[in-house]
Amino acid sequence: MQFIMGVLASLTATALVAVVSYFHSRKLRDFLIRRLSKRLGIGIDKIYGNSKDSNDDVARAIQDAKFVKIFAPRGHTLLGAYSGYFTKNKPCKVLLPSTDADARYWIEQRVRERTAEPYKSSPEVLIREIDTAAHALLVSAQKDLIRFKRFNHPHIARLIITDEWAYFLPLKKDVRTSECEMVKYSSCSFMYDFWNRYFDLIWDASPDANPDEIKEEGEPS
């Protein structure tokens, strides 16, 4: 019953977003989303039109957080917008896709979703992008700034969780990650609890990143 109510609440919130968007009022839309989602227990604080619009807010949340958990489909954002906020006194866990042979199915599956120009890619390009981020993250891990694991799991979203907020960016077919909407959930909501548990389950099932398994850029795979 709770699941059904959650689905209905999400559909209601989505319909509300569509109606309010018609009036092109972002402040009004955000206000109504917060009020309705709070009443229904969804906990949506804000919906960003794309991930770039959320960068400043996410950076502040990471800076002020007591802990951080990040599930990243490629990890390039971790090298830029958020990297300066990793410190030894702030527990930070990062999950990045594995590029091992056993995990290649999910890489190829994501590539198949990006077939239209200008989003077309190849498994080799995506692997190189992921491993480039992995090298940088390993440096942070070796400095004890983060804990870093590689997951063998569908590349479905970017997920950033702190003690106060959960930011969820669902990946879409033939849409750049930077152009996908980002949903911000408050910690006093069942959707925050769901994404926090989702992260923990994958974290517990994933191995620590192994430097020997990551190819240097330009190395043959």
Both structure tokens of 179: 């152009």
| Run of H or E residues at 133 | helix 123-142
Q: How many alpha carbons fall within 13 Å on the CB side of residue 195?
A: 31
Say what the pLDDT of residue 19 is.
Answer: 55
Q: Which fold does the domain 44-213 belong to in CATH? A: Endonuclease; Chain A (3.30.870)
Contacts of 129 (CB under 8 A, 6+ apart): 74, 75, 76
Say what the pLDDT of residue 149 is.
Answer: 94
Both structure tokens of 60: 């502040």
Q: What is the pLDDT along the chain (221 residues), one digit of tens a residue?
A: 655 655 556 656 555 555 555 445 666 656 666 656 566 667 788 889 888 888 889 989 988 999 999 999 888 777 666 666 777 778 999 999 999 988 999 999 888 887 665 656 788 888 998 998 888 888 888 788 889 999 999 999 999 999 999 999 998 877 777 778 899 999 988 899 999 999 999 999 999 887 665 555 444 44
| Run of H or E residues at 157 | strand 157-162
Say what the pLDDT of residue 217 is.
Answer: 47
Q: What is the pLDDT of residues 101-134, one digit of tens each?
A: 889 999 998 888 876 656 567 888 889 989 988 8
Say what the pLDDT of residue 185 is.
Answer: 93
Structural domain spans, the chain: 1-42, 44-213
**pTM of the predicted protein model:** 0.78
